Chain A
Amino acid sequence: MLKDSADRLRHELADQSKNLWLSGKALAAQNTVATGALAIAAAALAGYALWAGARISMLLAALSVILALASSVVSIGADRNSFLLRHTAFVLLGLSGLCGVLGGGTAMLARVEITGEFPLGLPWLAWHLRLDALSGFFLAVIGLALVAVSLFGPNYVREYEHGRRSLALLGIATGVFVAGMELVLLADDAFFFMIAWELMSVSSYFLVAYEHEQAANRRAAFLYLLMAEAGALFIILAFGVLAAFSEGFTFSAMREASPAPVWTSIAFTLGLIGFGMKAGIMPLHAWLPEAHPVAPSHISALMSGVMLKVAVYGLIRFSFDLLDSLHWQWGIAVLVLGSASAVLGVLYALMQNNLKRLLAYSSVENIGIIFMGLGLSMVFYSTGHPHLGALGMVAALYHTLNHALFKSLLFLSAGTILHQTHESDCERMGGLIHSMPRTAIIFLIGCLSIAALPPFNGFVSEWLTFQAALQATALSSGVLRSFVPVTAAMLALTGGLSAACFVRVYGVVFLGRPRSRHVRHAHGTSSKTMLAGPGLLALLCVFFGILPAPMVRLLEGIPYQLTGQLLPSRHTLGWLWLTPVSPETASYAAPLVLLAILLAWVVSFKLLQPRGKAVSIRRGEPWDCGFGGLTSRMQYTGTAFAMPFRRLFAQSFDVEEMLDEHPPDAQNKRAARLIYHLHIGDRFWRWLYEPVANAIWRVSRQVARIQTGHIRTYLSYSFLTLIVLLWVISR
């Protein structure tokens, strides 16, 4: 009987594996069909875009929004049929991204300015749309990240297929989220802008709260929603100030208005707080390291890589385009906030052990660098150096593009690691370079780019920012002249710290020996598309690092459209060279530098071989001080790596260190177990958030006194309020 059942089991297993194999084959076929369709559609769109020229860019942008919404609609049925999400919704998102890249790219190339009206909205205010070089650039950035995410996503969401969570919710919210971001870029009146902004914020709340079983995730999502809405209130107020001085809510009316400097400063401050809160600038960043790690990885990539950029777009649009004039004090404020965010962001990133949380803090750092570029730009514009202002803005925009590329790459790769090892704590990883070699190379390119090392793209944007800061001698005010180079030194410190941070990440996650069982038995992902997403981004990182000049030339169109000024130097040396100010002042030719390095490499490799002998490399045990038996627990940990920084910058953290000594056992009088606890908290919680939260509690307790619990009291409150409001309006 036993033998019978064993036989039966074997047959069943064989059947099942056959079924599995068949379904796998069918899936592969579907995949090929989907990829083929995508390629044909892309080719057709590209051809049409080239043929129709600039006029088509608005159509493509609209198509991009429609496709994102379509992916949202399609995924309604995803709960019953996950195929819909994995092979239809993601394909639609990818197409939407492609349309965004093409539409945005053509808008930038042709420096178009297309406006339109959409017959929806309030009776007296239709939705105004506008596509120019600035929104085109951000549209293209969203598109690039979206294409990578749509390649990566289908395999990643497999994990959620058999859980209790709703796949439909994931698909719907993702589609609306993307459409919301794209509509923010296209909006040309304050009303529509806020609707799109809220679409983006609220739909992403559902994505952050997606893995809602854990209380910590719910808390993070609530904090995110709270701060997003508070930020939105500030933005509404900022628009309100401008609207009060102009004939309506359209952006074109706001551009015409010229309020008094006091009012523009108030509007700017409100806008800076509102957009800064969404961008995650310190000290308004608290939601970012909570919310980004808990979302599914491809959503984290979109949020960190792209959504923060939409906030940067908002700030640029608001201050450079809508406001009447710029003041150097604003530039200084943005510069100081940017420097603080950059240095503190990277310091906090250095201390994190959760990989995705670390990446989130590093986003704070990079947004800081973008803000530094924008601050320099404001200082130069407001003091009458528009060419240098253009340089600062190009540096900021280039870093925006770069950060979107490498942060999406890193989040997607972190997703791959999470998917393959089910581990998110760096201290339990290690040695993944042997089991996941391809992900290791992709992740390394991301690390090198984000650490601002040449010849990768992050270096180019930091180099441009340095060049902008070094032009401070052109300023006439002595205070500004001496202040601006100091921020350049802050940028240098950020660069050094972020290199240390990413050495730590890569070393602890990918190198050395595996630190846990899951990681020891992990293997690389077999899915090609899951590698293709981050792989595409890695290629772009290298490309924009080695050939920056064409992109800089393209970016020049944005300050040109906003203020009518180009870069100081008109690319005198050709496409190989980057000469932002003039060829005598500074030049950088990445392809030639790379050529020189390769030459040196080949020569050192060929010439310095011992003659007449084959290259002999022998493997051996590393030095173990003669004790023998090195284990993975003897490696340097990430916490140990970061210890010198923790000590040197102790004032920046709330450090709690505790040693738990478990009672000694009777025999050998030694502590049985030592447990070391280390908690590094964000100082701003204690300095800013807790006081504010306590104040709100106190006020709400006072307000609670008018609560009686009787409906008639509440009705009379409402009635009185209405009367008072009517009186105020009719007065």
Chain B
Amino acid sequence: MIWLLNILETLLFVAAAPLFSGWIQWLKCLAQNRKPPPLWQPYRDLAKLFRKETLVAEQASWIFYTAPYIGFSVAVLVAAIVPLIWVGLPSAAIADVIVLVGFFGLARFFQALAGLDIGTAFGGMGSSREMTIASLAEPALLMAVFTLAVSASTTNLSAAIEYHLAHPHAIRPSYVFAGLALMLVAIAEAGRIPVDNPATHLELTMIHEAMILEYSGRHLALIEWATQIRLMIYGVLLANVFFPWGIAQSFEFAVLLEAIAAIALKLMILSMILVASETLLAKMRLFRVSQYLGFAYFLGTLGMLIHIVVEVGP
């Protein structure tokens, strides 16, 4: 029964991810004085891509076919682990937050290999840049996560959120730093401005898009969907770990409804911050990204030190 609910929650997560992207798109258009597409535009795009013929480069090997499936499966797995509306997920125990980061790494590994598989300059360029950014983002991400893990003394996401719900009035300055660090890393990992621009196809600035340039049809649809799920995962992580209010701790219908409303509201607010930064900032040069991520790492480390100095009793 519990597992069934878990699967239902995962399905909700996966199904809602394009809506979240559509919402960000809608908000961004409004902020930039453009006419927004309808909220369900991402669903239409996905449906169109799924129907289209799939074109594969001549010298592509099986790595090229399997990478989108691995990426999508990993995104679904992680969506199953991250608590969306209900905190007592049984699946959170099978993989903790380090495993989650590791599986994102697995998906990225295959995607970067697929970029090199077709033997063009674009693919290799995208893979190289993606791996550069990822290898710098990973320590910053883990440092932010470790601050949480150490204060709740667990790397299990559900347990960490439960711990914070149990101590609602503790003031933790370390969280401000960890939260900021996680936000910066999330922008880099999700490939948003100012690190990468998902809407560009200019060869000098492409990062993620260069890597997946040769994909089409069903494969591209899976990749796009996985990207949307990943963006939402980072949003939900930020929303539920740092602001766990409203998340359901029991199965009553009213409580669950309330939880859905709460997470929707939190994600809406978060996406406003994202839209504001995407509208106000320009994309950075590639070699500035290391400073950006270095700053995120620095914030994470500061959060850890503050936790150790201020929040741990003698």
Contacts and interface: CB of A to CB of B under 8 A. Distances in A.
A453 to B, nearest CB: 4
Interface string B76-119: 11001000000000010111101100110110110011011111
B305 interface: yes
Interface string A461-480: 00100110010110000100
A589 B124 contact: no
A619 interface: yes
A470 B56 CA distance: 45
Contacts of A588: 94-96, 99
B122 interface: yes
A495 B93 contact: no
A466 B54 CA distance: 42
Interface string A490-533: 10110111011011101110011100000000000000000000
Among A481, A589, A617, A618: residue with most chain B CB under 10 A: A617
Nearest to A608: B50
Contact of B297 (A489, A583, A618, A648): A489
A486 B129 CA distance: 25
Interface string B185-222: 00000000000000000000000000001100010011
B131 A489 contact: no
A709 interface: no
A503 B117 CA distance: 11
Contacts of A502: 109
Interface stretch (A11-19, A62-70, A634-642): A634-642
B113 A584 contact: no
A162 B182 CA distance: 61
Contacts of B106: 448, 453-454
B286 interface: yes
Contacts of A727: none
B39 interface: no
Which of A451, A478, A601: most chain B Cβ within 10 A? A601
B54 A617 contact: yes
B142 interface: yes
Contacts of A575: none
A632 B119 contact: yes
Nearest to A596: B77
Interface residues of B, number: 85
Contact of B290 (A601, A642, A648): A648
B207 to A, nearest CB: 11
Contacts, number: 263
Contacts of A489: 139, 142-143, 146, 297, 300-301
B121 interface: yes
A601 B69 CA distance: 6
Given A481-B312, A600-B72, A618-B54, A503 B124 contact: no
A644 B96 contact: no
A601 B116 CA distance: 23
Contacts of B146: 470, 485, 488-489
B56 A634 contact: no
Nearest to A459: B102
A482 interface: yes
A727 B127 CA distance: 71
15 contacts: A463-B102, A485-B150, A489-B146, A492-B138, A499-B135, A511-B113, A585-B154, A593-B94, A593-B103, A604-B72, A609-B218, A616-B53, A622-B214, A636-B123, A640-B128
**Nearest 6 Cβ contacts at the A-B interface:** A636-B124, A507-B116, A496-B135, A512-B119, A500-B131, A496-B138
Given A451-B105, A593-B99, A622-B59, 14 more contacts: A433-B63, A454-B99, A463-B98, A470-B155, A473-B312, A492-B139, A503-B113, A507-B116, A511-B63, A511-B113, A600-B77, A604-B73, A608-B222, A621-B57
